[in-house]
Amino acid sequence: MDVDEVALLTTTLLKTMTTATGPELAAALDDLGWPDMLAGYPDVVVPLVFRLLGETGAHAPLLNDVIRADPPPPLAPPQRTEGRLPNAQRNEGRLHNGRRTEGVLRLPYAGGAWVVWEREGHGGGLDQELPLRRVAAGSAVPLAAGRRALGWWLVGTGRAMLALARRHVLDRTQFGRPLASFQAVRHRLAEAHVAVEGAEATLALASDDLGSLLAKAAAGAAALTAARHCQQVLGGIGFTAEHALHRHVRRALVLDGLLGSTRELTREAGTLVRERGSAPRLTHL
């Protein structure tokens, strides 16, 4: 995709995500060619689509598609399924003759739990909006692509919270001065902004399992940092159901736990580094 095509796609996605969510958004994205875009331009559409999901507050069961589209490693023996779905399960939910087949993909959640992200339905046991439902333990799934996708979603959620907080501090006054003029307020928003920017840079470089693990951990930490600081900056209104912030805070908490929480992934990364005896080079600066 060239720059003009990406710009046009961004505009179309924003318009779609601000008018639909859940199963309706999933159907609309299918009509826009989401399966074909995922197959042809995953490095472009996954960051774009999932970041916009975070920024708009919309949701759709696209994570299942990203995980299923993650190709098996080259030269892997057919009988090996460790860390991946068996072929019969990996094919569930794909498009056949233009129609999506039914299938349930069990995803690991924080604390050793497992969940399914249902394509139909609204709200579940973990969230009032996301159709996540706790289930018994499932087979191992490929996590790298899914973690990167969730990382972009968390980055978008962090940016949405920052936008709400920025608008608030520019509009509201205290002691005859805009809230944005107070240094303590600026420091909080600056720290959140740096965390989100750092997470986005980490995601842009992530490619392998360890890089994806670290990127998802960084994105989760950034979103939680943004939630904490933005809620403080917004004051009492930030805790009310009438304000949009609480939806993004809840979304950040739920997504952080999916495919491993920030705390769990950080601990896992430390274990890997200790076992290797050195930290691998993730990028050439």
Mean pLDDT of 96-103: 40
**DSSP character for 61?**
S
Nearest of 222, 248, 241, 221 to residue 165 by alpha carbon: 248
Q: Please determine, for residue 100, whether its predicted confidence score (pLDDT) is greater than 80.
A: no
State the pLDDT confidence band at 271, using cuts at 50, 70 and 90. very high
Mean pLDDT taken over the chain: 86
pLDDT in tens, 212-253: 999 999 999 999 999 999 999 998 888 888 899 999 999 999
Burial 187-209 (b: 16+ CB within 10 A, else e): ebbeebbebbeebbebbeebeee
High-pLDDT (> 90) share of the chain, % = 67
CATH number of 144-276: 1.20.140.10
CATH 1.20.140.10 range(s) for the chain read 144-276
Q: Please determine, for residue 204, whether its predicted confidence score (pLDDT) is greater than 70.
A: yes
Range with lowest mean pLDDT among 80-84, 95-99, 201-205: 95-99
Query: Measured between alpha carbons, how far is 78 from 86 in angstroms, rounded to an integer?
Result: 9
Query: Measured between alpha carbons, how far is 254 from 54 in angstroms, rounded to an integer?
Result: 12
Query: Measured between alpha carbons, how far is 81 from 72 in angstroms, rounded to an integer?
Result: 10
Which tokens in the block code for residue 265? 């992934």
Please indicate, yes or no, whether the overall pTM of this predicted structure exceeds 0.75. Answer: yes
